[in-house]
């Protein structure tokens, strides 16, 4: 690919993730987008996959059991002149470090909110991670076909709970049974909810006055008058649309709509893709930055998925491309070891099937079959210059289990498996301060199940996991450590690097500790 083609290809890429709370409508809106992209022909395909009726891959036993498929990890399609990559952020019981880490590999995020429920806990958690990255966040207030909360309320809540300005891009004209349409503030048109024909779907507005030109039955509707009043109020008291703030993730454009009835989704997709950034430069550990259209190939591993089928021990390493062009069979350098690797087997992700990738550029994701070479956070590259991307953040685990080997005669394989599997970064290993017992921490329960399964099948070590449950992990300065501060309600452990931390039973235990030891600083990972 010559320089110009590479630049053009990169400029077309839009790579994002959808963050939401379960049931807000992420699957439904994803599916609508895939329909627009021509990847699927029928609504219900992704849904079917989710429920397991569509599982064609022999990927992971647990994945299959839970109805997730690796092919839905990344969905790629072309729309409106853009090449779109949607990275899935697994929710429900599959919520894990991977969900957070995926957010390190995207250039923008879409936040889907149920307009009847407003901002829910999982959205808040994911939002925090996105906000920290300073990437643009676009908001879709879903389920407008049902009665929900007042639009002004929903926008105010963004500021109150998430500390981000919301700027309305369109405005609902009614909701639920009274839904008439969407007043599109920036495209100067009204999108009718149930138009009689395609020709009457959009009603043009006079850009000067913001009112319907000429005659239209809507003009007699009180909801139309109400909307005009709302728009007046918004333009006086609402946040002002600010491109710089949007780019920095300080302001979120807000769109209303209904994914289920496919209302407002296409307009949303077009508007959001036009504003979402193409892949940008990346910071390197050396302090330099690397442009997305730099000629040499580079990328980093943000997720590793193990095959749970004992007959197929392979794993797949998900690589976000940051520069250059990926080509099948290319030889790259693995920054951590300095070793050369030939990338023979790569897979690109489509929603319907896995296909062999021919070439891919910055913003794209490739899956590399891996026999144990990669770790999460690894950088790979071609060319003479060393490329090491900044370290991926670690996320504070929330669930903990105590781990022991069932068979005391097999200590060797037990310790080996423990050491090697935690290297992958899916779970965190701790040891109790007093007795050196193993404790594992993770963001989601699934990680423990996968760990247990792999210990048995890959290391022939049966492990017993005793749940400790949810704990609040807080690191402390080693110099301030006094083992007498530990109790059953705030267990003292050390991480792999030997840093001390407390696992607090709950908020009360943490507050009690803070009162008792006001000088001790308690820190989280992210």
Binding stretches for ligand GDP (CB under 6 A) = 20, 22-28, 142-143, 145-146, 258-260
Alpha-carbon distance of 311 to 351, in angstroms, equals 25
CB of 143 to ligand GDP, least distance (A): 4
Query: Of the two residues 113 and 401, which places its CB atom closer to ligand GDP in the complex?
Result: 113
Question: Is 92 part of any known ligand binding site?
Answer: yes
CB of 50 to ligand GDP, least distance (A): 7
Query: Of the two residues 140 and 513, which places its CB atom closer to ligand GDP in the complex?
Result: 140
The pair phi, psi for residue 305, each rounded to 5°, is: -115, 125
CB of 29 to ligand GDP, least distance (A): 7
CB of 96 to ligand GDP, least distance (A): 16
C-alpha dihedral, 361 to 367 to 371 to 377, nearest 10°: 70
Question: Is 23 part of any known ligand binding site?
Answer: yes
Query: Of the two residues 9 and 98, which places its CB atom closer to ligand GDP in the complex?
Result: 98
CB of 130 to ligand GDP, least distance (A): 17
CB of 364 to ligand GDP, least distance (A): 24
Query: Of the two residues 258 and 447, which places its CB atom closer to ligand GDP in the complex?
Result: 258
Contact 203, 189 (CB under 8 A): yes
Query: Of the two residues 122 and 298, which places its CB atom closer to ligand GDP in the complex?
Result: 122
Question: Is 518 part of any known ligand binding site?
Answer: no
DSSP string, 391-427: PPPP----EEEEEEES-GGGHHHHHHHHHHHHHTSSS
CB of 144 to ligand GDP, least distance (A): 7
How far CA 276 is from CA of 78, 103, 243, in Å, comes to 15, 15, 11
Q: Which residues neighbour 250 within 8 Å (Cβ) at sequence distance 6 or greater?
A: 164, 165
C-alpha dihedral, 365 to 453 to 125 to 316, nearest 10°: 0
Q: Which two tokens stand for residue 385?
A: 């210059």
Question: Is 90 part of any known ligand binding site?
Answer: yes
- Find, among 464, 494, 488, 462, the residue nearest to 476 by Cα: 494
Query: Of the two residues 260 and 321, which places its CB atom closer to ligand GDP in the complex?
Result: 260
Question: Is 506 part of any known ligand binding site?
Answer: no
Query: Of the two residues 49 and 454, which places its CB atom closer to ligand GDP in the complex?
Result: 49
Segment holding 335, helix H or strand E: none
Question: Is 142 part of any known ligand binding site?
Answer: yes
CB of 231 to ligand GDP, least distance (A): 23
Question: Is 115 part of any known ligand binding site?
Answer: no
CB of 27 to ligand GDP, least distance (A): 3
Alpha-carbon distance of 421 to 427, in angstroms, equals 8
CB of 123 to ligand GDP, least distance (A): 10
Query: Of the two residues 127 and 504, which places its CB atom closer to ligand GDP in the complex?
Result: 127
Question: Is 436 part of any known ligand binding site?
Answer: no
3-state secondary structure of 124: helix
Query: Of the two residues 24 and 304, which places its CB atom closer to ligand GDP in the complex?
Result: 24
Alpha-carbon distance of 88 to 310, in angstroms, equals 26
Q: Which residue has the tokens 């999460």?
A: 376
Query: Of the two residues 231 and 259, which places its CB atom closer to ligand GDP in the complex?
Result: 259
- Find, among 285, 271, 30, 35, the residue nearest to 136 by Cα: 271
CB of 126 to ligand GDP, least distance (A): 12
Number of residues in the chain: 526
Query: Of the two residues 193 and 448, which places its CB atom closer to ligand GDP in the complex?
Result: 193
Q: Report the chain's terminal Cα–Cα distance, integer Å.
A: 39
CB of 526 to ligand GDP, least distance (A): 24
Question: Is 289 part of any known ligand binding site?
Answer: no
Question: Is 24 part of any known ligand binding site?
Answer: yes
Alpha-carbon distance of 137 to 166, in angstroms, equals 10
How far CA 463 is from CA of 62, 157, 399, 453, in Å, comes to 18, 46, 17, 9
Alpha-carbon distance of 389 to 300, in angstroms, equals 7
Alpha-carbon distance of 498 to 294, in angstroms, equals 39
- Find, among 316, 383, 392, 371, the residue nearest to 348 by Cα: 316
Q: Which residue has the tokens 């627009």?
A: 36
Question: Is 144 part of any known ligand binding site?
Answer: yes
Query: Of the two residues 139 and 461, which places its CB atom closer to ligand GDP in the complex?
Result: 139
Q: Which residues neighbour 421 within 8 Å (Cβ) at sequence distance 6 or greater?
A: 427, 451, 454, 455, 458, 459
Q: Which residue has the tokens 């921490």?
A: 441
Residues comprising the binding site for GTP? Answer: 20-27, 88-92, 142-145
Residues comprising the binding site? Answer: 20-27, 88-92, 142-145
């Amino acid at each position: 690919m010559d320089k110009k083609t590479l630049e053009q290809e990169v400029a077309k890429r839009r790579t994002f993730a959808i963050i939401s709370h379960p049931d807000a409508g992420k699957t439904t809106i994803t599916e609508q987008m895939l329909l627009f992209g021509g990847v699927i022909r029928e609504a219900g395909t992704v849904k079917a996959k989710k429920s397991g009726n569509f599982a064609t891959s022999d990927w992971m036993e647990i994945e299959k059991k839970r109805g997730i498929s690796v092919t839905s990890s990344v969905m790629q399609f072309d729309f409106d002149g853009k090449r779109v990559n949607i990275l899935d952020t697994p929710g429900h019981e599959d919520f894990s470090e991977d969900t957070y880490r995926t957010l390190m590999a995207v250039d923008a995020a879409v936040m889907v909110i149920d307009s009847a429920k407003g901002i829910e806990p999982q959205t808040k958690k994911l939002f925090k991670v996105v906000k920290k990255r300073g990437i643009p966040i676009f908001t879709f207030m879903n389920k407008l076909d049902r009665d929900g909360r007042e639009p002004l309320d929903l926008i105010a809540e963004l500021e109150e709970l998430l500390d981000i300005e919301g700027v309305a891009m369109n405005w609902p004209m009614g909701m639920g049974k009274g839904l008439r349409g969407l007043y599109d503030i920036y495209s100067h048109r009204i999108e009718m909810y149930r138009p009689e024909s395609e020709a009457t779907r959009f009603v043009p507005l006079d850009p000067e006055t913001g009112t319907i030109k000429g005659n239209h039955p809507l003009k007699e509707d009180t909801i139309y008058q109400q909307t005009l009043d709302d728009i007046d109020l918004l333009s006086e008291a609402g946040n002002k649309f600010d491109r710089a703030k949007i780019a920095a993730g300080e302001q979120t454009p807000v769109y209303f709509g209904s994914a289920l009835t496919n209302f407002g989704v296409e307009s949303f997709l077009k508007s959001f893709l036009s504003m979402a950034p193409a892949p940008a430069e990346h910071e390197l550990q050396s302090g330099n930055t690397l442009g997305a259209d730099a000629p040499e190939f580079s990328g980093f591993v943000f997720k590793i998925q193990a095959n749970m089928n004992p007959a197929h021990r392979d794993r797949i390493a998900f690589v976000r491309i940051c520069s250059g062009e990926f080509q099948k069979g290319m030889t790259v350098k693995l920054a951590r070891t300095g070793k050369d690797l030939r990338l023979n087997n790569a897979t690109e992700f489509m929603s319907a099937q896995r296909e062999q990738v021919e070439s891919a550029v910055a913003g794209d994701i490739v899956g590399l079959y891996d026999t144990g070479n990669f770790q999460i956070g690894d950088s790979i590259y071609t060319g003479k210059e060393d490329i090491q991307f900044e370290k991926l953040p670690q996320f504070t685990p929330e669930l903990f289990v105590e781990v022991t080997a069932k068979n005391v005669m097999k200590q060797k394989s037990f310790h080996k498996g423990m050491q090697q599997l935690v290297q992958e970064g899916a779970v965190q290993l701790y040891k109790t301060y007093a007795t050196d017992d193993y404790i594992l921490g993770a963001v989601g329960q699934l990680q423990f199940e996968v760990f247990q399964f792999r210990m048995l099948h890959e290391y022939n070590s049966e492990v017993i996991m005793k749940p400790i449950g949810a704990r609040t992990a807080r690191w402390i300065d080693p110099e301030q450590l006094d083992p007498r501060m530990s109790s059953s309600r705030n267990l003292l452990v050390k991480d792999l690097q030997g840093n001390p931390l407390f696992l607090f039973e709950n908020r009360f235990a943490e507050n009690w500790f803070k009162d008792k030891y006001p000088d001790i600083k308690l820190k989280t990972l992210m």
